[in-house]
């Protein structure tokens, strides 16, 4: 870091020590985060008591907050207590300009529920999600996200929409905001007890959800009770929820992508023209089923011992059991296809063996069948203590201390792999990336046709994410002059992210116990929505049979260290970060303009611990059945001053011009920093972290015009650019890793994160229009053009998560009794990550949603929310000629009765 910046940071810290007072930051509680220079302390506090009900009221309130803000923000407010405009928080946000959602965090594929949120054509890890302005420990139920793929984004599956008062998306930075979001911050704001109008408030929602593909209906329960005394000096609010849902996903998957025939493969001697040609590695008929059972609650308490001091307590917990069963009946293409010659008449197009028939060869297994039942769970919680102190008429302060923790765990994995179709032969025909691969096998695919059994895994995997923090925020207001106020404050946080795999089971002779176990069948209309011709009339062992056979014939070791233990050191790492931040922000106001400028100093001390495989036992620090390992430790120290400026100019009574400039910083994903190198024996590819990665530093510019042409009416256009220095991309290297098959080091093609420069430029357009008294329409469009200096293995320069085109259209009707809303969201294709060592993409998709409401009385209403009405097929691919997967999830219908007292 330069000497000039060090002096600048020191001067800021000194200024903080010498300056006086400040106003509590709204972004950390339920106050108005806009900090409009035109608003005094009383105006800001009064906003939190406005009651918003109905679609029209929600739209009007959201636009009012956006209009008054000095920074560029988007706002969604609840239509009533416990009711956002969409059933899922992430689904609500995807209707805003510049916002994208995805339904997975790793390689679990597309689901019917949004899980991650990102901004302006970037990956979710560059967007920071906060609750009431503070961090929240995150956790994932999927096993790969508990170890090898740990980002910095938050899983929205643990955050019920019923808890939300409003959500604010901050697109331009301010010095007072917590650092960590390169592209912006999403702040989920909950309700506070003293905000309610009545002394007693009770809300209850009782209903059910039906998932059409799973053909199950499950209960949905949530409730709220709020009390505040007559003097509004004490209040307590309790919200609870218990929500269960069955889901089913039917698919064709090609795990690991396509396999390229090598000169050393057996088929090269008989068919040299096939060397360098890609063939499907594993072609799967994939059935995934899961039960998500989410329960928890939020407790809020406030106490005002006098008019100048408010004390607050918050406690939140959300736990989700997420047991899941994945069955993948697969053609073993990269096994027999690498050694056996196809019959004459095969076709090679664009480097792909698009059509091939293979005659049956006795002793050859053409099918491999994986059945994986996992007991999985995730949970998150936080606890905060707050103090708001009005020291004088012009001086306020806010203090907060808090702790948060998220845990994602797979305690048990029951995995069976069987091979079959002995000598039956096989065939396939590909159709590019737009349709599934047609394939078949002629052997016996009943349970009697399978005989070779294998198991792997049965290994505990656990991820923890925890943070302790303390903040002190101040504001000094002035009665005269252009300088309206200034903010300053400090924040200290200690964060730890850890992946663990401490124990497992040594399998015994499981096949005799399993082969005659109970079986069930795939659904009769399996994967009917995705097309293609491939095996559908299939069987599988029931979860009980699979679990029972493995538990009865496995040995769980009490000592998992040493050469015979099952402590998987290669699946473990930890990242510990200490973050100190200090900021100063000046807020200005003129006759027709307002704005702010500020500096935020960030100092980070980062410790990264992981393991590297070695071949010599004498060189190892630890060992197990997974190999010999040496411990690695890296320490990074990061110091940076981040400037920001926002300007709002009222060009006319209802015409607003905005301009913003800032620098923002995001640290690399935890797994990108710490992941120990590990690989797959299937195709000899792997992944590893890079502890020497630098943080992403983004230089941002934002300019836009907003025309509020009538109440609930907006027409806006915003242009933005982000220059991303040290963006995290992925390259590949050859590295020696431990093979679980040969029990020695072998050469793997390993993907490794690297720093590379990147940029994103784009435009956002938004339109909201009421039509008469009861109707309204809305639409928005986002264009994002992103590229990186890094060249991926497919020759592209794409950014992770960049969809070039995203748009939303919607319409609503609402009177005093009925309400209706329909919306459609479209997102163009974008880069997901790496499949093995090859980049892969999610294809364009669109989702159609609708909701209906009926108000029977002042205390009873009903709602029906329908998601994924168009039953979209989610498609993934590596190139125009190489598909990766096709998913069908079905539709969801939520019917609820709402009671308010």
Mean local confidence (pLDDT), 160-187: 93
Note the pLDDT tens digit of each residue in 663-718. 999 999 999 998 877 656 556 666 778 999 999 999 999 999 999 999 999 999 99
Instruction: Say yes or no to pLDDT of 619 above 70.
Output: yes
CB 885 within 8 A of CB 875: yes
Distances (CA, A) of 583 to 73, 251, 445, 477, 640: 21, 50, 66, 17, 12
Give the burial class of 529: count Cβ atoms within 10 A of its Cβ; 0-12 exposed, 13-18 middle, 19 or more buried. Answer: middle
The DSSP symbol for 619 reads G
Note the pLDDT tens digit of each residue in 305-363. 999 999 999 999 999 999 999 999 999 998 899 999 999 999 999 999 999 999 999 88
Q: Which residue has the higher pLDDT, 785 or 793?
A: 785
In whole angstroms, give the CA distance from residue 542 to residue 373. 9
For residue 19, what pLDDT is reported? 33
Note the pLDDT tens digit of each residue in 566-597. 888 888 999 999 999 999 999 999 999 999 99
Q: How far is CA 605 from the centre of its chain?
A: 26
Mean local confidence (pLDDT), 193-208: 96
The top-scoring range by mean pLDDT among 29-38, 42-51, 749-758 is 749-758
Kindly compute the dihedral angle of the four CA atoms of residues 880, 881, 887, 888, in this order, to the nearest 10 degrees.
80
Percentage of the chain lying above the pLDDT 90 cut? 68
The token duo for 303 is: 């106490």
CB 366 within 8 A of CB 424: yes
Q: How confident is the model at residue 629 (pLDDT cuts 50, 70, 90)?
A: confident
Domain ranges of the chain: 3-254+283-331+367-420+437-900
In whole angstroms, give the CA distance from residue 814 to residue 163. 24
Q: Which residue has the higher pLDDT, 558 or 295?
A: 295
Q: Which DSSP string do the residues of 87-136 spell out, in sequence order?
A: SBHHHHHTTSTTEEEES-SSSS---SS--EEEETTS-GGGEEEEETTB--
CB 887 within 8 A of CB 108: no
For residue 681, what pLDDT is reported? 57
For residue 245, what pLDDT is reported? 95
For residue 680, what pLDDT is reported? 62
Q: How confident is the model at residue 76 (pLDDT cuts 50, 70, 90)?
A: very high
Fold of 3-254+283-331+367-420+437-900: Maltoporin; Chain A (2.40.170)
Question: Per residue in 336-369, is it b (16+ CB within 10 Å) or e — as a string?
Answer: bbbbbbbeeebebeeebbbbbebeeeeebbbbbb
Q: Give which of 595, 392, 599 is closest to 479, Cα–Cα.
A: 392
For residue 28, what pLDDT is reported? 37
CB 403 within 8 A of CB 136: no
Which residues on adjacent β-strands are paired with residue 639?
603
Give the burial class of 607: count Cβ atoms within 10 A of its Cβ; 0-12 exposed, 13-18 middle, 19 or more buried. Answer: middle
Note the pLDDT tens digit of each residue in 60-75. 999 999 999 999 999 9
Which residues on adjacent β-strands are paired with residue 209?
218, 894
CB 438 within 8 A of CB 493: no
**In terms of DSSP bridges, do strands 116-119 and 99-102 run parallel, antiparallel, or are they unpaired?**
antiparallel
For residue 9, what pLDDT is reported? 38
**CA R_g for the chain:** 28
In whole angstroms, give the CA distance from residue 208 to residue 216. 10
Mean local confidence (pLDDT), 837-842: 86
- E-state strands within 421-556: 426-429, 438-441, 450-454, 461-477, 483-500, 505-507, 519-521, 539-541, 554-556
Contacts of 517 (CB under 8 A, 6+ apart): 541, 542, 545, 546, 548, 549
Note the pLDDT tens digit of each residue in 450-468. 877 776 657 889 999 999 9
Note the pLDDT tens digit of each residue in 245-270. 999 999 999 987 888 999 999 999 99
For residue 613, what pLDDT is reported? 81
Note the pLDDT tens digit of each residue in 470-503. 999 999 999 778 999 999 999 999 999 999 998 8
Note the pLDDT tens digit of each residue in 374-418. 999 999 999 999 999 999 999 999 999 999 999 999 998 999 888
Q: Give which of 74, 59, 99 is closest to 172, Cα–Cα.
A: 74
For residue 562, what pLDDT is reported? 76
For residue 4, what pLDDT is reported? 35
Mean local confidence (pLDDT), 149-160: 88
- Among the residue ranges 124-128, 192-196, 510-514, the one predicted with the least confidence is 510-514
Contacts of 813 (CB under 8 A, 6+ apart): 774, 775, 819, 820, 821
Q: How confident is the model at residue 214 (pLDDT cuts 50, 70, 90)?
A: very high
Q: How far is CA 454 from the centre of its chain?
A: 33
Q: How confident is the model at residue 42 (pLDDT cuts 50, 70, 90)?
A: very low
Query: Which 3-state string (H, E, C) describes 738-807?
Result: ECCCCCCEEEEEEEEEEEEEEEEEEEEEEEEEEECCCEEEEEEEEEEEEEECCCCCCCCCCCECCCCEEE
Distances (CA, A) of 124 to 12, 116, 666, 799: 31, 6, 11, 12
Q: Give which of 557, 553, 552 is closest to 626, Cα–Cα.
A: 557
In whole angstroms, give the CA distance from residue 641 to residue 6. 8
Instruction: Say yes or no to pLDDT of 741 above 70.
Output: no
What's the chain's average pLDDT? 88
The token duo for 241 is: 């929820």
Q: How confident is the model at residue 438 (pLDDT cuts 50, 70, 90)?
A: very high
Percentage of the chain lying above the pLDDT 70 cut? 91
């Amino acid at each position: 870091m330069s000497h000039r910046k060090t002096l600048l940071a020191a001067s800021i810290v000194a200024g903080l020590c010498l300056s006086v007072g400040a106003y509590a930051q709204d972004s950390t509680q339920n106050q108005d985060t806009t900090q409009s220079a035109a608003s005094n302390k009383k105006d800001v506090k009064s906003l939190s008591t406005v009651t918003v009900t109905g679609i029209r009221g929600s739209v009007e309130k959201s636009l009012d907050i956006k209009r008054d803000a000095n920074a560029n923000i988007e706002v969604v407010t609840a239509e009533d207590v416990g009711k956002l405009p969409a059933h899922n928080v992430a689904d609500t946000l995807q209707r805003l300009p510049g916002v994208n959602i995805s339904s997975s965090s790793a390689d679990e594929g597309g689901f019917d529920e949004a899980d991650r949120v990102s901004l302006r054509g970037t990956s979710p890890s560059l967007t920071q999600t906060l609750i009431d302005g503070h961090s929240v420990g995150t956790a994932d139920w999927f096993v790969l996200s508990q170890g090898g793929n740990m980002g910095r984004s938050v899983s929205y599956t643990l955050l019920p929409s019923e808890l939300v008062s409003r959500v604010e998306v901050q697109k331009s930075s301010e010095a007072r905001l917590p650092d960590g979001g390169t592209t912006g911050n999403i702040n989920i704001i909950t309700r506070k007890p003293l905000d309610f109008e009545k002394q007693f408030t009770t809300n209850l929602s009782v209903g059910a959800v039906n998932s059409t593909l799973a053909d199950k209906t499950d209960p949905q329960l949530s409730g709220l009770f709020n009390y505040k005394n007559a003097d509004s000096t004490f209040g307590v609010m309790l919200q609870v929820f218990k929500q269960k849902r069955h889901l089913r996903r039917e698919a064709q998957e090609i795990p690991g992508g396509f396999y390229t025939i090598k000169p050393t493969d057996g088929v090269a001697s008989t068919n040299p023209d096939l060397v360098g040609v890609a063939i499907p590695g594993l072609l799967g008929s994939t059935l995934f089923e899961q039960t998500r059972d989410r329960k928890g609650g939020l407790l809020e308490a406030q106490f005002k011992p006098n008019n100048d001091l408010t004390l607050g307590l918050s406690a939140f917990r959300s736990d989700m059991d997420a047991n899941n069963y994945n069955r993948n009946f697969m053609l073993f293409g990269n096994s027999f296809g690498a050694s056996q010659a196809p019959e004459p008449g095969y076709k090679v197009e664009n480097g792909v063996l698009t059509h091939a028939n293979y005659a049956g060869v006795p002793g050859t297994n053409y099918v491999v069948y994986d059945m994986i039942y996992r007991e999985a769970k995730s949970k998150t919680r936080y606890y905060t203590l707050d103090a708001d102190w009005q020291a004088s008429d012009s001086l306020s302060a806010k203090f907060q201390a808090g702790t948060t923790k998220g845990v994602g765990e797979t305690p048990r994995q029951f995995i069976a792999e069987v091979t079959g179709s002995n000598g039956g032969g096989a065939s396939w025909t590909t159709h590019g990336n737009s349709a599934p691969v047609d394939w078949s096998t002629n052997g016996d695919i009943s349970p009697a046709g399978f005989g070779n059994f294998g198991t792997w895994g049965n290994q505990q995997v656990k991820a923890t994410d925890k943070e302790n923090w303390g903040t002190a925020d101040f504001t000094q207001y002035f009665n005269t002059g252009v300088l309206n106020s200034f903010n300053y404050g400090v924040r200290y946080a200690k964060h730890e992210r850890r992946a663990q795999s401490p124990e497992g089971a040594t399998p015994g002779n499981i096949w005799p116990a399993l082969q005659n176990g109970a079986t069930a069948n795939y659904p009769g209309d399996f994967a009917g929505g995705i097309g293609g011709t491939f095996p559908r009339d299939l069987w599988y062992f029931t979860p009980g049979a699979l679990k029972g056979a493995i538990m009865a014939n496995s040995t769980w070791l009490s000592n998992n260290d040493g050469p015979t233990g099952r402590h998987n050191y290669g699946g473990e790492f930890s990242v510990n970060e200490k973050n100190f931040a200090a900021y100063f922000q000046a807020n200005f106001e003129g006759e027709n303009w307002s704005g702010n400028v500020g500096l935020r100093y960030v100092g980070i001390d980062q410790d990264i611990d992981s393991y590297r495989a070695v071949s010599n036992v004498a060189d190892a620090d630890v060992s197990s059945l997974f190999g010999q390992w040496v411990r690695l430790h890296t320490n990074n120290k990061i110091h940076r001053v981040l400037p920001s400026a926002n300007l709002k100019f009222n060009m006319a009574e209802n015409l607003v011009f905005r301009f913003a400039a800032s620098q923002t910083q995001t640290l690399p994903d935890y797994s990108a920093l710490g992941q120990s190198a590990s690989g797959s024996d299937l195709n000899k590819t792997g992944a590893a972290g890079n502890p020497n990665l630098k943080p992403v530093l983004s230089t941002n510019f934002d300019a836009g015009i907003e025309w509020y042409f009538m109440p609930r009416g907006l027409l806006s256009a915003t242009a933005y650019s982000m220059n991303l220095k040290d963006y995290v991309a992925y390259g590949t290297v050859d590295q020696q890793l431990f093979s679980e098959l040969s029990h020695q080091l072998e050469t793997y093609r390993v993907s490794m994160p690297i720093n590379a420069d990147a940029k994103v430029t784009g435009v956002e357009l938004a339109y909201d229009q009421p039509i008469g008294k009861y109707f309204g329409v809305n639409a928005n469009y986002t264009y994002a053009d992103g590229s990186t200096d890094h060249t991926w293995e497919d020759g592209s320069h794409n950014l992770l998560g960049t969809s070039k085109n995203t748009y939303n259209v919607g319409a609503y009707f609402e009177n005093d009794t009925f309400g209706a809303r329909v919306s459609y969201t479209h997102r163009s294709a974008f880069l997901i990550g790496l499949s093995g060592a090859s980049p892969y993409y999610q294809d364009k998709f669109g989702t159609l949603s609708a909701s209906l409401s009926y108000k029977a009385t002042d205390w009873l209403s009903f709602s029906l929310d329908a998601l994924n009405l168009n039953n979209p097929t989610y498609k993934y691919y590596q190139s125009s000629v190489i598909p990766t997967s096709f998913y069908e999830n079905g539709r969801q219908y939520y019917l609820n009765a709402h009671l308010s007292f």
